[in-house]
């Protein structure tokens, strides 16, 4: 109850801020020398050093490779401070900026990993702010737009859910809109949120395959072909209600949770479940399961609540995530347990784990493919269970394909041109996954071009974007430090969901908070 009351109080405070009742100071990550040089001795600068100490400087000055300032040391002890830091001793910097934010209260923290904070001040380049960007609430991660010959079309939400460096991951999304123009494929990468994006790799994969197959990439990066997909013969939700019409075809009619008005974690638990049956021609081996869908904004909402709980202790919590293996593992376990779509198959005795499907993001419907085993006792019917945190997914289509994968030709393309202030010398930052990142601030965008390879005669071409990285939210650093409650959320299954799901369903039902 204490956790729930705190979350309600945090939400009310946020709504007051949204209505202009109080000023909000946003702490933004500093990745460029110019950010300090332009501000001089204005505002508050938060410094986290590589040994985990934290300082709040009310006056500061950057000279060459040394940052001097006066203020307070806030961790691990609290005392007055006046001194200097060498840039190579700094883990990350945050600059406080004041103002009234009408769109939303931005939560989270921008914490750099080693070599991405001080080193960014010395030699990393940001992207060019050459687009007018509006910032809708509760969106995150970099966006990729594909040029179709007439304009840029939103095509990928890249690495959704990668909220710190330890959660960095690679996403391969099919981009049907990408068309060759004057011998080039053109993509636009944008940061459309109050966050700092760290893009480790962004390449294009071109797959040439026979005309009669469809190509998709599984979450492990393997390209699979689909030739004869079949829909389920039955599909029931956890209340034994048929939802077959919702999932038989990719028609925009989504299966979604049907309990907003009557939701109770005490009686309904905190999970949603689908059970589908498919008629098969074979009784062993494996098949390819196709799941088309998208996420709701619940994940962003839950992270908002977690951020609010951390309050003034958020900087140190994220620092521990980045540097304490046990803390980082705890968050990764939480994301795996309560942030993904879990897939099981019935083996005749019980439900056997078959894999997970990564989050899609809330903006686009994405086709996911997962190879699942066919139990020996299937007897021509494959039973599949999908399970996730309540109201986290919207499912548009379920299908299986029993065909064998056919040979395809895959060509990986690194960008050959980059427009924007970063210049073409930034191209190597995106060519491969390594310890170098292209850093994008809010409103930044960059246009990338890729040379179109020759296509083999008689084959159909499918293009994919491969993106690797993570992102850090900017923060208000407001509120009481309740990171102990956050640890409970991460370690105890369902602990957090039982607190934030009632708030979520109240909001979704239009009842507010």
Check residue 292 and give its pLDDT.
96
Is a pLDDT exceeding 60 seen at residue 437? yes
Confidence class for position 37, pLDDT limits 50, 70, 90: low
Is a pLDDT exceeding 80 seen at residue 261? no
Convert the pLDDT of each residue in 281-302 to its tens digit. Answer: 877 789 999 999 999 989 888 8
E strands of 100-241, at which residues? 143-147, 152-156, 169-174, 184-190, 195-210, 214-217, 223-226, 229-230, 234-237
Confidence class for position 443, pLDDT limits 50, 70, 90: confident
pTM (whole model) above 0.85? no
Convert the pLDDT of each residue in 80-93 to its tens digit. Answer: 999 999 888 888 78
List of residues 6+ apart from 90 with CB closer than 8 A: 47, 48, 49, 50, 67, 117, 118
Give the pLDDT mean for 100-110: 30
Check residue 266 and give its pLDDT.
56
Q: Which residue has the higher pLDDT, 210 or 48?
A: 210
Instruction: Return the percentage of the chain with pLDDT > 70, whole number.
Output: 80
Check residue 227 and give its pLDDT.
95
Check residue 5 and give its pLDDT.
36
Check residue 179 and give its pLDDT.
96
Residue 261 in tokens? 């008005």
Check residue 269 and give its pLDDT.
66
Convert the pLDDT of each residue in 227-236 to its tens digit. Answer: 999 999 999 9
Convert the pLDDT of each residue in 307-328 to its tens digit. Answer: 888 887 777 787 888 888 999 9
Residue 119 in tokens? 């080193």
DSSP-derived letter for residue 111 is -
The candidate with the shortest Cα–Cα distance to 271, out of 493, 489, 1, 5, is: 493
Convert the pLDDT of each residue in 156-188 to its tens digit. Answer: 998 888 888 888 999 999 999 999 999 999 999
Is a pLDDT exceeding 70 seen at residue 118? no
DSSP-derived letter for residue 362 is S
Residue 332 in tokens? 């990764």
Check residue 26 and give its pLDDT.
57
Q: Mean pLDDT, the chain, as a whole number?
A: 81
Rg of the Cα atoms in the chain: 24
List of residues 6+ apart from 388 with CB closer than 8 A: 271, 272, 340, 341, 342
Least reliable range by pLDDT among 261-275, 334-348, 354-368 = 261-275
Q: Which residue has the higher pLDDT, 194 or 176?
A: 176
Q: What share of the chain is helix, strand, coil (3-state, %, to 5)?
A: 20, 40, 40
Domains of the chain in start order, with CATH, are 2-124+473-498 (no CATH), 228-402+499-508 (2.60.120)
Check residue 422 and give its pLDDT.
63
Whole-angstrom distance, CA of residue 328 vs CA of residue 115: 19
């Amino acid at each position: 109850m204490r956790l729930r009351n705190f979350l309600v109080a945090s939400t009310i405070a946020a709504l007051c801020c949204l209505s202009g009742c109080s000023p909000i100071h946003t702490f933004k990550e500093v990745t460029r020398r110019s950010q300090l040089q332009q501000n001089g001795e204005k505002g508050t600068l938060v410094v986290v050093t590589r040994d985990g100490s934290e300082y709040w400087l009310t006056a500061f000055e950057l000279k060459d490779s040394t940052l001097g300032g006066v203020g307070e040391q806030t961790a691990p002890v609290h005392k007055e401070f006046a001194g200097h830091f060498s840039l190579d001793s700094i883990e990350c910097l945050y600059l406080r900026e004041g103002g009234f934010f009408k769109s939303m209260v931005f939560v989270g923290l921008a914490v750099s990993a080693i070599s991405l904070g001080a080193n960014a001040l010395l030699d990393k380049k940001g992207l060019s702010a050459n687009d007018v960007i509006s910032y809708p609430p509760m969106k995150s991660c970099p966006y990729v737009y594909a040029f179709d010959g007439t304009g840029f079309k939103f095509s990928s939400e890249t690495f959704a859910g990668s909220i710190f460096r330890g959660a960095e991951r690679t996403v391969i999304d099919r981009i049907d809109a990408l068309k060759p123009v004057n011998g080039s494929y053109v993509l636009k990468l944008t940061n459309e949120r109050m966050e700092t994006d760290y893009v480790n790799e962004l390449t294009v994969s071109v797959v040439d395959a026979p005309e009669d197959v469809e190509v998709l990439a599984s979450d492990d990066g393997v390209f699979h072909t689909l030739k004869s997909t079949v829909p389920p013969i039955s599909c029931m939700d956890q209340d034994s209600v048929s939802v077959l019409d919702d999932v038989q075809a990719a028609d925009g009619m989504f299966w979604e949770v049907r309990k907003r008005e009557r939701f109770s974690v005490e009686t309904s638990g905190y999970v949603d479940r689908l059970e589908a049956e498919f008629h098969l021609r074979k009784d062993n081996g494996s098949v390819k399961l196709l799941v088309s869908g998208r996420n709701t904004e619940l994940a962003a909402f839950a992270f908002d609540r977690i951020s609010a709980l951390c309050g003034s202790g958020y900087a140190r919590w994220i620092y521990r995530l980045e540097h304490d293996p046990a803390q980082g593992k705890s968050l990764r376990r939480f994301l795996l347990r309560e942030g993904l779509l879990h897939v099981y198959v019935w083996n005749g005795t019980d439900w056997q784990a078959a894999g997970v499907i990564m989050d899609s993001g809330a903006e686009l419907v994405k086709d996911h493919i997962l190879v699942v085993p066919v139990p020996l006792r299937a007897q021509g019917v494959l039973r599949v269970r999908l399970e996730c945190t309540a109201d986290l997914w919207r499912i548009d289509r379920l299908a299986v394909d029993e065909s064998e994968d056919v040979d395809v030709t895959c060509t990986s393309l690194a960008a050959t041109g980059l427009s924007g202030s970063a210049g073409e010398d930034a191209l190597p930052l995106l060519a491969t996954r390594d310890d170098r990142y292209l850093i994008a601030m809010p409103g930044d965008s960059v246009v990338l071009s890729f040379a179109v390879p020759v296509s083999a005669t008689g084959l159909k071409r499918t293009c994919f974007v491969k993106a690797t990285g993570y992102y850090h939210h900017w923060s208000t650093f407001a509120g009481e430090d309740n990171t102990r409650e956050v640890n409970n959320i991460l370690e105890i299954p369902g602990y957090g969901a039982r607190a934030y799901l009632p708030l979520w369903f109240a909001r979704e039902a239009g009842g507010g908070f």
